[in-house]
Structure 1
Amino acid sequence: MSSERPQHQTAAAEMTISRLEDLIGYHLRRASVFDLQGAAAALEPANTRTVPMSVLLSIVEAPGISSAEICRALGMQRANIVSILAELEERGFFLRETDAADQRIQRLFPSRRGQEEAARWLGLITKHERNMLCRLSLDEQMELRRLLAKIWQEDGPQQS
């Protein structure tokens, strides 16, 4: 029995792939999977993932931010941040303070340990991105960032 595929199946598979490769979304998904797998591997030594890293960086870069503000900035559902904040707080990465003007709001401030870990995590993810984008020039990397932001940012009317 031959291990070769029948010609008609190969041609059909190539046609499907060719059609997929015409779709921007296909390339975005492939690039996203490639990035997320690499990011997960890069952050594994720090025992964290990309979303907790993003939350901690938000706290470090904007001391006093609230969880609702983090959710808006990162495009997260409020229900999803509760367990992430619990994990980061358990690791001693930030402190909560009640807002003086509104007792219902908790302001989040990074601890020294949180600042140090955020810097370490950012270094790990930056190294991953450098490796992932090494085939692009710096100008191409800036253009890619600009184009991707233009797709997902909601600052203008959508055309159909």
Structure 2
Amino acid sequence: MGRQMPRKHELATPEKRLTVRSLEDLVGYHLRRASVMDLQGSTAALADVNLRPVSMSVLCNVIEKPGATAAEICRVLDMQRSNIVSILADLEGQGLVLRETDETDQRIQRLYATKRGFDVTSNSFALLSAHEERLLVNLHPSERSELLRLLSLIWQR
């Protein structure tokens, strides 16, 4: 059975429509729309270096925290441990990271970026900067700084 159209008396009147909030009133709606635009552009930009935004985040964390474990990176990025396994395998397969067994505890694997990992990350930042320049072209540099500050207030609690 198909959906039936509402009867005329069930339709919202203009007066009732004015009392219902619009999606445009919700911060989350705007965050989601902006996030989709950013993710699409980031994904396209990173395709040239065979990375995705999440794998780029993992690689950056390996560079920033040499010797970190997968579990430590998962905590920093707030990701599930099972999700990082394939990402690390891909990064390792591309020669961007390597795993070394911890000297004091053979069960622990420490992560390190290779020279190629550093080079690809540097190139990736250039690609992402160009993407962000296109994305934020209508914002003044001071507005960009303020946007970063405000977004940080939301997720860094």
Q: TM-score, normalised by structure 1?
A: 0.82
What are the equivalent positions in structure 2 for 1:9-88 lying under 5 Å apart?
Answer: 19-88=22-91
Task: Tell me the secondary structure at the aligned position of residue 46 of structure 1.
Answer: coil
In 2: Cα distance, 1:72 partner to 1:139 partner: 32
- The alignment of Structure 1 onto Structure 2 pairs a total of residues equal to 145
Residue equivalent to 2:141: 138
In 2: Cα distance, 1:40 partner to 1:51 partner: 9
Residue equivalent to 1:158: none
In 1: Cα distance, 2:105 partner to 2:143 partner: 46
Query: Which piece of structure 1 moves more, 41-50 or 31-40?
Result: 41-50
Q: Deviations over 1:73-103 (max 9, x none)?
A: 1111111000000000011111111122322
Task: Tell me the secondary structure at the aligned position of residue 137 of structure 2.
Answer: coil
Give the deviation of 1:18 after TM superposition. 7.0
Structure showing greater Rg: 2
In 1: Cα distance, 2:97 partner to 2:103 partner: 18
Q: Deviations over 1:127-156 (max 9, x none)?
A: 1112111211111111111111111122xx
In 1: Cα distance, 2:130 partner to 2:62 partner: 22
- Letter of the structure 1 residue corresponding to residue 95 of structure 2: G
- For structure 2, list consecutive stretches of 5 or more residues without a partner in the other structure: 1-10
Task: Tell me the secondary structure at the aligned position of residue 109 of structure 1.
Answer: strand
Structure 1 outlier segments of 4+, above 3 Å: none
Q: TM-score, normalised by structure 2?
A: 0.84
In 2: Cα distance, 1:26 partner to 1:95 partner: 40
Q: CA RMSD in A?
A: 2.2
What are the equivalent positions in structure 2 for 1:140-155 lying under 5 Å apart?
Answer: 140-154=143-157
In 2: Cα distance, 1:46 partner to 1:109 partner: 19
- For structure 1, list consecutive stretches of 5 or more residues without a partner in the other structure: 1-7, 155-160
What percent identity do the matched residue pairs reach? 54
In 1: Cα distance, 2:34 partner to 2:78 partner: 20
